[in-house]
Structure 1
Amino acid sequence: MRIIFTLLLLLVSATGSAAPKAELWPYWQQSNEANTATIDHSLWQHTLNKYLVLHPQQTLFRYHAVSSNGKYDLDRYIRKLAATDPRSYSKDEQFAYWVNLYNALTVQLILDNYPLKSITKLGGFFSFGPWDEKLLTINNNALSLNDIEHRILRPIWQDARIHYVVNCASLGCPDLQPEAFTADNSEKLLEQSASRFINSTKGVKVTGSKVLLSSIYNWYSIDFGNKSMLQNHLNQYRKGKHVELNSISYDYDWTLNEAR
């Protein structure tokens, strides 16, 4: 029995370290570039203003402080997005929609299961985290966090910086941004997020000739390219001395990004 249990743990661990591939869900490719309407993200911005705490190297979330009204407003925001057909909006408006929805759903998942030490504790016995759980329905399509990130955002926009703006509620993750995404500020926030992460020790930590990188660069190496391409990408945002990727190791901290 002990051997079987050990094998199951190894299976779960292996599943957690295998990043999903970007596989397009064609249904979500449609857009209406003639539509100049915008989607209101003020409820999400209100949540960020009230509960997100900014530190020099990390943004943390005050999950313990979220009131019943705060939970209601977050749920109202998510339900509003779920009732919106993003395909009827422009591509820029859609990008902000999906990023904000992903991050809001992640926060809601933590709140629904709080207290906990790590998002990886959620999901079924054979799951490493909740990313495959169907969390909401849009246009009669049930979606999970993995659907949003790997079947919509990554394959449609094909921008490696997406990894810097979808937050997994963990200390090792790129920071949850204090601004809600909009069609107008997405490019600024993408650049800001990339720079902040790459210049943090959780993104890139240099010790002599050794470089400790976030596991994101290992899991999603297909998005960042070969070693030379990744090095160029990092140095595009690095402040100070450029990094040389000669001796690389990877790490990731799954501890909850909680502010006490």
Structure 2
Amino acid sequence: MNNNQQSLTSTITLTLWLLLIVLCSGLYSKSTVAATTSYWQTSNESMSEDINHNQWQYILNRYLIVGENDTAINFFNYKGVTNSDRTVLKQYLVQLQRIDPLQYRKAQQQAYWINLYNALTVELILDNYPVKSITKLGKRFFSFGPWDDDAAVVNGKTLSLNDIEHQILRPIWQDPRIHYAVNCASYGCPNLAASAFTASNTEQLLTAGAVAYINHPRGVTVKGSDLEVSSIYKWYAEDFGDNDHALIEHLKRYAKPELKQALRLFQQNPSDIDFEYDWRLNQPE
């Protein structure tokens, strides 16, 4: 075998090994103890006591920079978080993970999971700050971000952020507005809400999140017969009807009058829909 043949063989072998690693990493991309949707379906609708999210509200009050109007971007001041307030956040996350959410009402559970997801994401950024993008994090080989990494333990089950979103929040509540509630610490993401979610305010916050995102250019932009929308609507197309018509109807539901009219015109003279996303960290420049 000459040198060229040896080089080719080595390249093919390396490529095959890399493909095997990618396939294996996909097989083991779930958390150590995978969440099962059926397990988390249980609730106690007679529970009157609510879950305390005051520590999370404290963090939001101090470090979330709220946009000037109801459709502006909210930023988070990661750089400004003090060590003592990082301790507050960690205490909150410990408190949440000691709770058995199955003992609470469905409405309380939904707020619990959304707040847990968002607080874990903020802690993740703080633990790795400074970082330009959440996509630079992740403990798994070839990982694009940390979403499959172990993030919390609830009821003895180890959960990743993906478990919380895709095995609990999305399948149990089946509400596309969930995408406007969970925050991935990025410019392109829907806002981190200024209020902690609770059983009493979740419905209002979900709708407010949809309105804020859809009426901002990072969510939807119409230019004549051209439509540019967030990649969220591509990644989770099934949640928005799985076709262009259903997506436009969803967008119109929360669009303000000017955007709603532009979307109607797009429906009459449709072109291709383009998808964009900005993964820069959602911090003030």
Deviations 1:11-62 (A, max 9, x none): 98xx99xxx9xx9521111000011110000000000000000124211100
Aligned mate of 1:180, from 192, 196, 208: 196
Structure 2 residue aligned with 1:134: 150
Amino acid at match of 2:58: H
Q: Is the 8 A contact 1:63 1:259 kept in 2?
A: no
- Say yes or no: does 1:52 pair with 2:64: yes
Q: Is the 8 A contact 2:222 2:262 kept in 1?
A: no
Q: Is the 8 A contact 1:97 1:181 kept in 2?
A: yes
TM (norm. structure 1) is 0.91
Structure 2 residue aligned with 1:235: 252
Structure 2 residue aligned with 1:75: 90
Structure 2 residue aligned with 1:93: 108
1:1-260 → structure 2 map (5 Å cutoff): 25-56=37-68, 57-123=72-138, 124-225=140-241, 226-239=243-256, 240=258, 241-243=261-263, 244-245=266-267, 246-247=270-271, 248-260=273-285
Q: Is the 8 A contact 2:56 2:196 kept in 1?
A: yes
Count of equivalent residues: 251
Deviation of the 1:139 alpha carbon: 1.1
Structure 1 residue aligned with 2:7: none
Amino acid at match of 2:224: G
In structure 1, distance between residues paired with 2:67 and 2:152: 32
Q: Is the 8 A contact 1:169 1:257 kept in 2?
A: yes
**Structure 1, unpaired ranges of 5+:** none
TM (norm. structure 2) is 0.83
Q: Is the 8 A contact 1:32 1:90 kept in 2?
A: yes
Distance 1:2 1:234, change over 3 A: farther
Deviation of the 1:125 alpha carbon: 3.5
Larger Rg: 2
In structure 2, distance between residues paired with 1:171 and 1:2: 39
Amino acid at match of 1:33: E
Deviation of the 1:2 alpha carbon: 9.2
RMSD (CA atoms): 2.3
